[in-house]
Amino acid sequence: MKYLFGSPGKVSGLVLRIGQCLFASASIGVMASASGFSTTTAFCYLIASMGLQVLWSFGLACLDIHALRLKKDLQSHVLVSLFVVGDWVTSVLSLAAACSSAGVVVLLSRDTRFCRVEKQLACRMFELSVALAFVAWFLLAISSFVMFWLLASV
């Protein structure tokens, strides 16, 4: 298999995984601390989806650290197939969560005047959480493409 930026078991791959973990955790933290998020399904789904991304990326970051320490090669066909499936499922779910929340945020803050009228809604925090979720998804999308490329180019 080729060695690309973000390959599993490499430093670049580890940096990507840590970035995904951090941004997804930050998105959860901001959303969970915003008042009034629990009444909206899209925001609850964002927390669930980002939670899944944190678990997945944290697991793979640990695997990368293990491989870097013991200088093991993680690029076997079976492992990369597993990474591709996990990355793509998590990536699609994260994008779906970020976009559905973004749709609701735009509805609340621009299309209607809910954010101005209902002062207990923390609209700024919703916006920040969605932005962080998009960054987390973007980093995961890079990993997904690299994994798919590695698998296809065998």
Site of interaction with its own copies (CB under 8 A):
39-42, 92, 95-97, 99-104, 106-107, 110-111, 148-149, 152-153
Q: What is the DSSP letter of 35?
A: T
Closest separation in Å from C-beta 4 to its own copies: 11
Nearer to its own copies, 23 or 137 (CB): 137
Of 14 and 80, which CB lies nearer to its own copies in the complex structure? 80
| Distance set, CA 57 to CA 36, 47, 69, 134, 146 (Å) | 28, 15, 18, 15, 15
Tell me the backbone φ, ψ of residue 26, rounded to 5 degrees: -60, -40
Spatial distance between the Cα atoms of 62 and 9, rounded to a whole number of angstroms: 10
Counting Cβ atoms within 10 Å, is residue 142 exposed (0-12), middle (13-18) or buried (19+)? middle
Minimum CB distance to its own copies, residue 147 (Å): 11
Q: Which is nearer to its own copies, 18 or 96 (CB)?
A: 96
Q: Cβ closer to its own copies: 53 or 63?
A: 53
Minimum gap (Å) between residue 121 Cβ and its own copies: 12
Q: How far is the CB of 143 from its own copies (least distance, A)?
A: 15
What is the Cα–Cα distance from 129 to 124, expressed in whole angstroms?
Answer: 9
